[in-house]
Amino acid sequence: MIFSYWTPIDKKMPTIHLTTFVAAPAQRVFDLARSIDLHRRSMSHTQEEAIAGTTSGLIGLNETVTWKAKHLRRVRVLKSKITAMDPPLSFTDEMVDGDFKSLRHEHHFKRIDNGTLLIDIFTYEAPYGSLGRLADRLFLTRYMKTLLETRNKTIKDYAESEKWKFILDK
């Protein structure tokens, strides 16, 4: 089950907040969420590939990854860095270089009796000033939310089945 909503913190910074229940231990969900290999699988529809930095395995604190993918009919490159990490409770990645003015993705993992709540707080600022804000209102927030939901469904699928072993037991 995925719950989501978005709230504009201010007129320039929409925030997407997703909460996904995963019937698996927090450590497993935490590791799957920072797996480069699983991320690539979850975004196969965008032909996403890691082209620099940490390109496979689990990304760690202060490490970077550069992604190349096709989004909105164009090949785009985005470099992000893990700027905070508190295993297995949270980690944060932030854009270092890419199309957005800014992008910050907080990943939180809350242990509950029957599994883990995977909580995403995704904040970004679209480029191109008022034109970017218009695109944001028309389609960009919905597009980004769908990408995050797709990623979380993949994490959930792997964590709740035996598939996680193919990613984490390498």
Peptide bond into 25 cis (omega under 30): no
Q: How many CB atoms lie within 10 A of CB 111?
A: 13
pLDDT in tens, 32-88: 999 999 999 999 999 999 999 999 999 999 999 999 999 988 999 999 999 999 999
Q: Quick one: pLDDT band at residue 129, thresholds 50, 70, 90?
A: confident
Q: What is the Cα 122 distance to its own chain's centre?
A: 8
Is pLDDT of 10 > 60? no
SS3 45: helix
The matching CATH number, chosen from 3.40.50.720, 3.30.530.20, 3.30.390.10, 3.40.50.10490, for 2-168 is: 3.30.530.20
pLDDT at 162: 97
Q: What is the mean pLDDT of the chain?
A: 92
Rounded CA separation 10/169 (Å):
43
Q: What is the Cα 21 distance to its own chain's centre?
A: 16
Domain boundaries, given as residue ranges, for the chain: 2-168
Q: Calculate ∠ Cα 122-153-124, nearest 5°.
A: 15
- pTM of the predicted protein model: 0.90
